[in-house]
Amino acid sequence: MLLNNQKYYKYINLWLILTIILVVSMIIVGGLTRLTDSGLSITRWELFTGLFPPLSENKWIEYFDLYKEIPQFLLINKNLTIEEFKIIFYWEYYHRLLGRVIGLFFLIPLIFFTFKKIIYKNDLISLYLIFSLICFQGFIGWYMVQSGLINNVTVSHFRLSLHLFIAFVILALLVWIYINNINSTKKFFFNFSSENNIIKIFILLIFLQIIFGAFVSGLDAGKIYQSWPLMNSSYFPNDVQIKNILDFINFNDRSYVQFLHRNIAYLIFFIYLFIGFNILVHKKKYLYKSYLIVLVILLAQLVLGISTLLSGLNFYLASLHQISSIFLVIFSLSLYYRSI
């Protein structure tokens, strides 16, 4: 329970749910920024001076000239016009602007609640930890962009995955606190009960899959082996050679990364079927509805992933595939909460 003063109960919940909506929006805009290859359009940090977009033609030319200096323009987008540049610029601009909005929207009420002593001290620590992650996320975002400004035409897929992973950690923490608060409970995600370990493993695998999804996106690994269920004519990609144990962690290999992304999805699905079997055997009727909601989202996620691949990476299918992962995380956390 977050509150030390019940008078502010609805305001705390409203603050949390609006922050969650903002973070969800941020993940969606970030995904679209990646899909439109817009992430390198702003080549400077500009924490404060970048609050407003260019307001004159000379300023637009200045930003465009900076973009012309990086490998992405020189090797891929050499024919890009300034009007086309404005489109990719605005994707990245709104992504960064939304990050600033989230930070301020979370911090200002948090400071107010702190001075009013509305929230218990232990819960305040959790909330300030989330704010620290939000600030750290901004740094990681710029760290990611830097990897694509010199000697590369795109950002590092490792830094991209870290950026996405932190975003989902922030989302998960906010959702967990919100669920606890609306139910007037204080359940811990990591508890010492072994009863629900299988659901914990399921959720952790979803986060692992999110990381590999970022690998696939960052490496453009979806552009090869656009077939299913086999990768062309074989289960294992025929251009991958495992000669020693280090090859098992070669996450720079596009074919191998796509193979792992596929098979983690299969593992997640079969584990979830086992969870359903366990719920039925033990007649946990209070979990039926939550289980079915997650099952529908999980099936949609699988279908969208396969369809994205078979369509040659259709933009709209790829976008929906990324968006559905957000709802998979949220409703999986809700299922786990109800199970403990």
Instruction: Check residue 120 and give its pLDDT.
Output: 86
What is the arithmetic mean of pLDDT over 45-59? 89
Question: Do 175 and 256 lie in a common domain?
Answer: no
- Whether 53 and 79 map to the same domain: the answer is yes
Alpha carbon distance 263, 99 (integer Å): 33
Provide the total of helices (H) and of strands (E) in the chain, helices listed first: 10, 0
pLDDT at 13 over 90: yes
Same domain, 115 and 208: no
Distance of CA 163 to the CA centre of its chain: 8
Q: What is the pLDDT of residues 123-156, one digit of tens each?
A: 899 999 999 999 999 999 999 999 999 989 999 9
pLDDT number for residue 50: 83
Q: Are residues 166 and 200 in the same domain?
A: no
Q: Is the pTM of this model over 0.85?
A: yes
Claim to verify: residue 166 and residue 276 sit in the same structural domain? no
Residue-wise pLDDT tens digits, 221-236: 999 999 999 999 999 9
Q: How confident is the model at residue 5 (pLDDT cuts 50, 70, 90)?
A: low
Q: What per-residue confidence (pLDDT) applies to 340?
A: 85
Final residue in a domain of this structure, among 158, 185, 212: 185
Q: Would the pLDDT of 194 be above 70?
A: no
| Shared domain check, 256 and 173 | no
Q: For residues 167 and 234, state if they share a domain.
A: no
Count CA atoms within 13 Å of residue 137 on its CB side.
Answer: 27
Element of type H or E holding 258: helix 254-281
Do 177 and 126 lie in a common domain?
yes
Confidence label for 7 from pLDDT (cuts 50, 70 and 90): confident
Q: Which of 3-7, 77-81, 310-314 has the lowest mean pLDDT?
A: 3-7
Please name the residue that has the structure tokens 């050499």.
Answer: 78
At 95, the pLDDT band (50, 70, 90 cuts) reads very high
Per-residue pLDDT band at 242 (split at 50, 70, 90): confident
Q: Count of domains in the chain?
A: 2
Residue for token digits 């990245």? 92
- The pLDDT-based confidence of 4 (bands split at 50, 70, 90) is low
Regarding whether 339 and 225 lie in a shared domain, the answer is yes
Phi, psi of 231, deg, nearest 5: -95, 95
Dihedral (Cα; 152, 53, 31, 42), 10-degree rounding: 10
Distance (Å, whole) CA 258 – CA 209: 11
Residues 201 and 301 in one domain: yes
Does the pLDDT value for residue 3 go beyond 80? no
* Domain edge (last residue) among 162, 185, 208: 185
Per-residue model confidence as pLDDT tens digits over 151-180: 899 999 999 999 999 999 999 999 999 999
Share the mean pLDDT of the chain. Answer: 94
> CB of 230 within 8 A of CB of 263?
no
Which residues form the domain of 228?
187-340
Q: Which of 113-117, 132-136, 194-198, 334-338 has the lowest mean pLDDT?
A: 194-198
What average pLDDT score do residues 252-256 get? Answer: 95
**Pair 302, 313 in one domain:** yes
Q: Of the residues 185, 204, 225, which one is the last residue of a structural domain?
A: 185
pLDDT, mean of residues 63-90: 96
Is the predicted pLDDT of residue 87 greater than 90, yes or no? yes
Kindly state whether residues 101 and 145 are assigned to the same domain.
yes
